[in-house]
Chains A and B, each alone.
Chain A
Amino acid sequence: MKELQRTDRLLIATGVFILILVIGLLTIKRPYLEYSRDLLSSARDAQNPSMTVYPNDVAALLGQGSKVLLVDVRSEYDFARGHLDNALQIPKIDLLTKKNVEMFRDAVKEHRTIVLYGKDQLDVTAPAMLLRDLGIGDVKVIAGGYEAARKALSGEQADPEEYNAEKAAYNYSEMAKAPPADASAPTNLAPEIVMPVKKAKGKAEGGC
């Protein structure tokens, strides 16, 4: 009899123990957004040129109609002043709200291309990278931003190289070595570098 009671207690204790473990495992805090791409592949893929749409190709892009989900990350004010047709305005900070993430995921399921644009390419580089890291499709960006796209749509042909923001515009080593073209440079006296220090305003400066 005694023996039996002890086993019972043991069973109950074991049961409770397992129950607590199960509850603990079920309630582990899981963020609803998780990176689907690790840092290494994100770094490897960072400079993949196929992610950039150049202004000349914007017209073709817009021509695809509903196959494209166009997102404008500029402010509401800039958006109101002018935006590309059918663009959705989503400020950068709101890109990952539940509603928007679901919209992006649906768009990917329907095989639509997500294209971000802002006031320049830098504006959307980081957001596009983050969305790609989260596994939200191949998010593309428009080089040159809204202004470049607008100009290209109005018929101006632009050299894609002009919008390659990473292109070296000068021969740096030459430029850093050679003196400037105008020979008005001072003599061999090394000029002192003067950094203006802003004066602190006095506590009370009386006037008349």
Chain B
Amino acid sequence: MKKAYIFLSILMVIIAISLLILPRYQKESEVLPDELLAHIADPSRYLTTDKVAEMMISQDPSLLLIDTRDSIQYREYHLPGAFLVPVADITSEKYNDLLNQDGKVIVFYSNGDLAAEQAWVLSKRMGLNEIYVMKDGLNRWMETIIRPEKPAETASSKELDLYQFRLGASSYFGGGNTVAVTTSTAAQPVVFQKKEKKGAKEGGC
């Protein structure tokens, strides 16, 4: 009888130890491969440079810009307010707190969009939500925001509106008008042009 009790207590100890080890297996809260693939197949993570510019100008407090290039390129030029997190180091402890902030919308960018995309895949696998990629990266940023190209005369009004926005954004980011930058370091006022609302019922004739 005593033997049986000893056996039982040893068994309990063994189970207790194995339970200690087991959680380490499950702790990895990584997104499962097939789930990750579903996210990959969904193109809604790509933001246009115009969208990113709009978020920056409206000083969206939830916006967190992440530069995924290396530190040399980052020092040379980076978007205002962006943080440096090179792709190769994105899993590093020191960026943990930066990337794991509640309520932040993270936008990755690089020169093109491949490094940003890779950073996105890694972060998605780490279980981050609300992460985006700036489509075509800084190259496109220069072409659309810093030096917007004038649309053809025959362009649609939508394109012309977009061009107007880009012109404004260009001077906001200091690409178009150096004078404006030197005279006021503060952000220029952003005016939301509200069109008058039409009444609920407007009769014809």
Contact = CB atoms under 8 A, between A and B. Distances in A.
A77 to B, nearest CB: 16
B88 A33 contact: no
Nearest to B26: A28
B11 A14 contact: yes
Interface residues of B, number: 80
B150 to A, nearest CB: 10
Given A93-B41, A194-B165, A11 B177 contact: no
Contacts, number: 216
Contacts of A33: 32-34
Contacts of A43: 87-91, 118, 122
Interface of B: 1, 4, 7-8, 11, 15, 30, 32-34, 36-38, 40-41, 54, 57-58, 73, 76-77, 87-91, 110-115, 117-118, 120-122, 125-126, 138-139, 142, 146-147, 161, 164-165, 167-169, 171-180, 183-184, 188-205
Interface in A142-191: 165-170, 172-173, 175-180, 185-191
Given A194-B165, A206-B204, A207-B204, 5 more contacts: A125-B114, A134-B33, A176-B173, A197-B194, A201-B198
Contact of B199 (A122, A196, A202): A202
Contacts of B110: 166
A170 B41 CA distance: 31
Contact of B188 (A167, A186, A190): A190
A33 to B, nearest CB: 4
